[in-house]
Amino acid sequence: MLSRSSRRLLNLHEYQSLGVFSKFGVGVPKFEYAKTPEEVEACANRITGGKTSEKVVIKAQVLAGGRGMGYFKENGYKGGVKVANSPKEAAVLSRNMIGNTLVTKQTGETGKPCNGVLVSEFFNITAEKYFAILMDRSFGGPVLIGSSKGGMSIEDVAAQYPDAIVKMPIDINKGLSQAQAREMAEKIGFVGETSVDSAVDTIMGLYKTFVDCDCTMVEINPLAELKDGRVVVSDAKVNFDDNASFRQKWIHDQRDRSQEDPREVEASKFDLNYIGLDGSVGCMVNGAGLAMATMDLLKLHGGSPANFLDVGGSAQADQITAAFRILDKDPKVKSILVNIFGGIMRCDIVAEGIVQASKQLGMKKPVVVRLVGTNVDKGKQIIKDSGMKIIAIDDLTKAAVRAVELSKTIA
């Protein structure tokens, strides 16, 4: 459940994650990031040592999984991960990616913009494993998750080969020991002294990254074993706790807002918890639990919420105005339901924000307001005296029904 203290989690691109890993001694391939085809060729030349006929890998950098099976909307080009036979070919292939929008099974049809590509050394992989570190409430701390079947969706592995999933809880106070890292490496299929030792070093480095960088997840798929026995991170996804941003400024400064819903970016500027959905009734509620209940009620009465929007317990008038601006600009929103249970959040403050927003934005979308709690009478009076077309309804069910009706009658 979302709350004021449980905010969205920062995601980094693969090239950024590899950069973080390298600082903690994790085995990573030679790589560079490029934003133009010309840069791609230059990067590839450096990685290959100037060898004009050596292979390199290029990967579209978007914050979504399934890149290799995706396609680019503008030109229909298939695949966001390619092996190029030379630096020049890498530049040619990258022209189909850079500046276009990649659609994968995780992005939906909207896709995500590809502003650059990761250029990486090409190597022969002899075995692919899956490895991840997550915070798990049921274990009361971090847990290592691994599988000998890497390079494919871990969800598919869990469904088809449940016995192939290995879990190892770690005592957050004691940390990860060499013995535990070795046990994990062997359980997920690394064999031979060189490979096991390399896997242990990599697992220890990944755990140090997880703890020291305030990660909420580190996922490596695949964790690759090479011909010479080295173990390297071949593909990575890392999430970081936003609540630790004051400790990890160097990481959080790498946030790529072009990959995010612009509505969520705007909401974060005003410390609003916002998640865009596909419905037609805009919701503005204080408290995550009340927001979920409000959304359920809309569905129950034949409507569909256009968003989750929790303004929290201490929002001011300017935050209310910002929330309305986001809802008003969303073309999918046909009506707006405001549901406020005033405790710390005073109903008169909410009412002032609603009226202020309606006047500033010249809002034409119908607004249904249900206020209960601290200073509720004062809040109702503010709405009444405003002269604005704001529908005040005390009963939540009736307010939800009315908002749904309006969403279906407004073109």
Domain end point (choices 87, 121, 155)? 121
Q: What distance in Å separates the CA atoms of residue 324 and residue 260, rounded to the nearest whole number?
A: 20
Tell me the H-state helices in 113-261: 154-160, 178-187, 193-212, 249-252
Q: Could you tell me if 95 and 133 lie in one domain?
A: no
Q: What is the CATH number of the domain that holds 75?
A: 3.30.1490.20
Q: What is the mean pLDDT of residues 28-33?
A: 94
Q: Could you tell me if 240 and 350 lie in one domain?
A: no
**The pLDDT of residue 2:** 33
Prediction pTM value: 0.69
Q: Could you tell me if 107 and 141 lie in one domain?
A: no
Look at residue 128 and tell me if it is in a domain: yes
Domain end point (choices 101, 121, 141)? 121
**How many residues in the chain?**
411
Q: What distance in Å separates the CA atoms of residue 183 and residue 117, rounded to the nearest whole number?
A: 36
Total domains in the fold of the chain: 3
Look at residue 4 and tell me if it is in a domain: no
**The pLDDT of residue 261:** 73
Look at residue 324 and tell me if it is in a domain: yes
Domain of 107, in residue numbers: 30-121
Look at residue 393 and tell me if it is in a domain: yes
Q: What distance in Å separates the CA atoms of residue 230 and residue 226, rounded to the nearest whole number?
A: 5
**Quick one: which of 400, 385, 200 has its CA closest to 281?**
400
317, pLDDT greater than 80:
no
The Cα-based distances of 153 to 66, 108, 133 in angstroms read 9, 17, 16
Domain end point (choices 192, 218, 252)? 252
> By three-state DSSP, how is residue 279 classified?
coil
Q: Could you tell me if 325 and 195 lie in one domain?
A: no
Look at residue 197 and tell me if it is in a domain: yes
> For 373, left (φ over 0), alpha (ψ -120 to 50), or beta?
left
Q: What is the share, in percent, of the chain residues with pLDDT greater than 90?
A: 55
pLDDT tens by residue, 159-176: 888 888 999 999 999 999
Q: What average pLDDT is seen over the chain? A: 89
Query: How many CB atoms lie under 10 A from the CB of residue 61?
Result: 27
Q: Could you tell me if 275 and 402 lie in one domain?
A: yes
- Per the residue annotation, which of 15, 33, 77, 130 is the catalytic one? 130
Q: What is the mean pLDDT of residues 146-154?
A: 86
Asked about 219 being catalytic, the answer comes back as yes
Q: Could you tell me if 197 and 274 lie in one domain?
A: no
Q: Could you tell me if 34 and 115 lie in one domain?
A: yes
Query: Is 163:154 a contact under the CB 8 Å cutoff?
Result: no
Q: Could you tell me if 75 and 212 lie in one domain?
A: no
Q: Could you tell me if 315 and 187 lie in one domain?
A: no
Q: Could you tell me if 283 and 166 lie in one domain?
A: no
Q: What distance in Å separates the CA atoms of residue 34 and residue 365, rounded to the nearest whole number?
A: 44
Query: Is 166:145 a contact under the CB 8 Å cutoff?
Result: yes
- Per the residue annotation, which of 14, 39, 219, 352 is the catalytic one? 219
Asked about 130 being catalytic, the answer comes back as yes
Q: What is the CATH number of the domain that holds 174?
A: 3.30.470.20
312, pLDDT greater than 80:
no
Q: Could you tell me if 401 and 281 lie in one domain?
A: yes
Q: pLDDT band for 260, please (50, 70, 90 cuts).
A: confident
Look at residue 24 and tell me if it is in a domain: no
pLDDT tens by residue, 125-141: 999 999 999 998 888 89
Look at residue 2 and tell me if it is in a domain: no
- Kindly provide the residue ranges of all beta strands, DSSP E only, lying in 201-262, ordered along the sequence: 215-226, 231-233, 236-240
Q: Could you tell me if 323 and 384 lie in one domain?
A: yes
Look at residue 25 and tell me if it is in a domain: no
